[in-house]
């Protein structure tokens, strides 16, 4: 029984001269195409096979650039590597920074955190950041606001109204200024007569 040879339908050449890489399209018996790269490097004929023409072209271009620049054989970036790079760039841009800036920031945070995972350091900071803020009561802040109105040259009626409104507010709300939320202010809105 004789075997049928695989048929080649076309050849694509990327690059010229000693940096040429040929892509042969081979139709396999199972009906799927296979894209084979062949090139000469270091006195040897080398090859790689791919199922996707786009990836074969990408690797062929990288090999051509490498051979043209006289670089030794190294790892080529695969299509997956490039997709991953683009994903990382989009993620960094979502935060308004470049990928290089994001990596620099991560490396700086990693050095500062030492052996602790950055996510653990952030959780610790969030749990303990109340200690980092200056603790001031609502009454202290209200009194400072009234003094700023008086020092700003506002009328005595305006200062008296501010004292009255803030007096009602601080009468219903106790605690530190850092603990006040928008929901608290909206809930206690009747303290201000409009």
One domain, residues 25 and 72: yes
* 110 belongs to a structural domain: yes
User: Model-level pTM greater than 0.85?
Assistant: no
Instruction: Give the domain extent around 14.
Output: 8-76
pLDDT, tens only, 167-193: 888 888 877 887 777 777 777 665 555
pLDDT tens digit at each of 194 positions of the chain: 566 555 555 888 888 888 889 999 888 888 888 999 998 887 888 888 998 888 999 889 888 888 888 776 655 677 788 889 999 999 998 888 888 888 998 899 888 888 888 888 888 887 877 666 567 888 888 899 899 999 988 999 999 988 988 888 888 887 788 777 777 777 766 555 54
One domain, residues 68 and 49: yes
Q: What is the pLDDT of residue 15?
A: 82
* 180 belongs to a structural domain: yes
One domain, residues 90 and 110: yes
pLDDT, tens only, 16-33: 888 889 999 888 888 888
Residue 89: alpha-carbon gap to chain centroid = 6
Report the DSSP pairing between strands 44-50 and 21-27. unpaired
CA atoms within 13 A on the CB side of 63: 26
Burial-class residue 131 by CB neighbours within 10 Å (0-12, 13-18, 19+).
exposed
Residue 24, token pair as written in the block: 């042969």
* 121 belongs to a structural domain: no
One domain, residues 180 and 145: yes
Q: What is the pLDDT of residue 194?
A: 44
Q: What is the pLDDT of residue 190?
A: 56
* 25 belongs to a structural domain: yes
One domain, residues 157 and 102: no
Q: Is 6 helix (H, G, I), strand (E, B) or coil?
A: coil
One domain, residues 90 and 66: no
Q: What is the pLDDT of residue 160?
A: 92
Number of compact structural domains in the chain: 3
């Amino acid at each position: 029984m004789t075997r049928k040879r695989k048929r080649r339908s076309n050849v694509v050449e990327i690059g010229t001269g000693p940096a040429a890489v040929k892509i042969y399209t081979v139709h396999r018996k199972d009906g799927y195409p296979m894209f084979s790269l062949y090139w000469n490097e270091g006195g040897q004929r080398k090859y790689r096979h791919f199922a996707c023409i786009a990836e074969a072209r990408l690797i062929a271009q990288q090999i051509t650039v490498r051979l043209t620049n006289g670089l030794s054989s190294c790892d080529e970036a695969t299509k997956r590597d490039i997709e991953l790079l683009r994903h990382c760039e989009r993620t960094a841009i979502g935060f308004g920074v470049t990928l290089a800036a994001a990596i620099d920031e991560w490396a700086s945070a990693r050095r500062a955190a030492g052996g602790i995972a950055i996510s653990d350091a952030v959780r610790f900071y969030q749990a303990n950041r109340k200690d980092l803020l200056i603790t001031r009561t609502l009454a202290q802040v209200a009194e400072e606001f009234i003094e700023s109105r008086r020092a700003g040259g506002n009328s005595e009626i305006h200062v008296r109204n501010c004292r009255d409104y803030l007096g009602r507010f601080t009468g219903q709300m106790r605690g530190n200024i850092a603990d006040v939320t928008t929901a608290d202010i909206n809930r206690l809105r009747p303290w201000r007569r409009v």
